[in-house]
Each structure stands twice: as C-alpha cells, then as structure tokens.
C-alpha cells in the first residue's frame, strides 16, 4: 500500500534509509526537508507491507535560477527501499505514484541525482540536454544529474538549480 507519510512513520523511515544507504546523513536530510517551506506532504510517500514501512520517496521544491528570475521546480530525493524488499518493484511503484501526483502540480520540471540506468524508465533524461544545470558546487556532474519535464514544461524553462543548505551540506 502506498500512502502519504505521517509523523508516526518518522522513526521507521529513518531506520529504512540507514539500512538502505548506510549513510547517517539521510535521516537529518529527511528531517530538514520536512521542516522546510519546500516540504510537500502529499509528495512524501511510503510503501507499507504487512504493517511495516518498506520504502519511502520524497519530492520537494527547489528554485531554478533562470534569466527571468527564480522558478519553483521539484526534486526527487530521497528514494529508499529496505534491503529485504529491494528489486521487488517497490521503488518503481513509489516513483510512479509520486510522478502521478507531481504531474498535476504547476512546477515545470523535476530533477534528481540518481542512477542513470534506473530513472529513464520514468521519463528522466540527462538534465543538461534540457539546459537544466546542477548546483555550481556539484561541478561537472553529468550522467547522474537528471530531469523529467512535467506537462507544464516548455524549452524556455532552463537555468541552474539552487540547492537549499540541507542538500548542499551533504554534497
């Protein structure tokens, strides 16, 4: 079952990301996104199996710096699946559910840093091909820097993504 996360899920989500990534920075990142004005509760989803949290995805807001000023866009981060449930379609189901919700929103594009062979199935392409540049501090990141145009996207939407401090501090 895929549903929006609740405050009662926070500890289980933290355990899930620690187990999936072995990265102690992920729980503070998730907490920082939740505490920020960029948090979109309808796009913080969990996959529940047998009463336990088996996966979680978050999509939140970011600014895209364009020649005409900042444009709000979406970022997919993080997406995690508990090790015992990986390669069973949970991450794909969470991604599809989040993208369906995101496509009804006004933001023209979604970005992510992710595996370049996993995300194209959901419509993600190398972001530079759409003139969507990564935050400057990421340097020459290329294949893992991806973007997915939304139904509201036009080629005029281009620029450089600006990470909030909670993302920038992790890189």
| Model confidence at 23: pLDDT above 80 | yes
Is the pLDDT assigned to residue 158 strictly greater than 90?
A: yes
**What's this model's pTM, rounded to 2 decimal places?**
0.94
Banded pLDDT at 139 (limits 50, 70, 90): low
Pairing, β 52-66 against β 69-81: antiparallel
pLDDT value, residue 136: 80
Chain-wide mean pLDDT for the chain? 93
Residue 4, pLDDT above cutoff 70: yes
Position 2 pLDDT exceeds 90: yes
Confidence of residue 66 (pLDDT cuts 50, 70, 90): very high
- Contacts by residues 19-27 (CB-CB < 8 Å, ≥ 24 positions apart): 19/82, 19/83, 20/80, 20/81, 20/82, 20/83, 20/86, 21/78, 21/80, 25/170, 26/78, 26/80
Residue 140 has what pLDDT? 66
pLDDT at 142 over 80: no
96: preceding bond cis by omega (within 30 degrees): no
Per-residue pLDDT at 53 exceeds 90? yes
Distance separating alpha carbons of residues 63 and 156, to the nearest angstrom: 15
The pLDDT of residue 94 is above 70: yes
Q: All domains of the chain, ordered by start, with CATH?
A: 2-168 (3.40.630.30)
Mean pLDDT of 22-51: 94
């Amino acid at each position: 079952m895929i549903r929006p996360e609740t405050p009662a899920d926070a500890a289980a989500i933290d355990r899930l990301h620690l187990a999936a990534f072995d990265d102690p920075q992920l729980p503070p990142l998730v907490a920082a996104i939740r505490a920020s004005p960029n948090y979109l509760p309808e796009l913080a989803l969990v996959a529940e199996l047998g009463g336990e949290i088996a996966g979680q995805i978050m999509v939140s807001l970011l600014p895209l710096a364009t020649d005409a000023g900042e444009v709000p866009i979406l970022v997919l981060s993080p997406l995690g699946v508990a090790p015992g449930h990986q390669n069973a379609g949970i991450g794909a189901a969470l991604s599809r559910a989040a993208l369906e919700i995101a496509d009804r929103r006004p933001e023209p594009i979604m970005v992510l840093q992710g595996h370049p062979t996993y995300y194209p199935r959901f419509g993600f392409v190398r972001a530079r091909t759409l003139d969507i540049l990564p935050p400057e501090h990421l340097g020459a990141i290329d294949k893992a820097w991806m973007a997915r145009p939304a139904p509201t996207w036009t080629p005029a939407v281009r620029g450089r993504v600006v990470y909030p401090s909670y993302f920038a501090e992790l890189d």
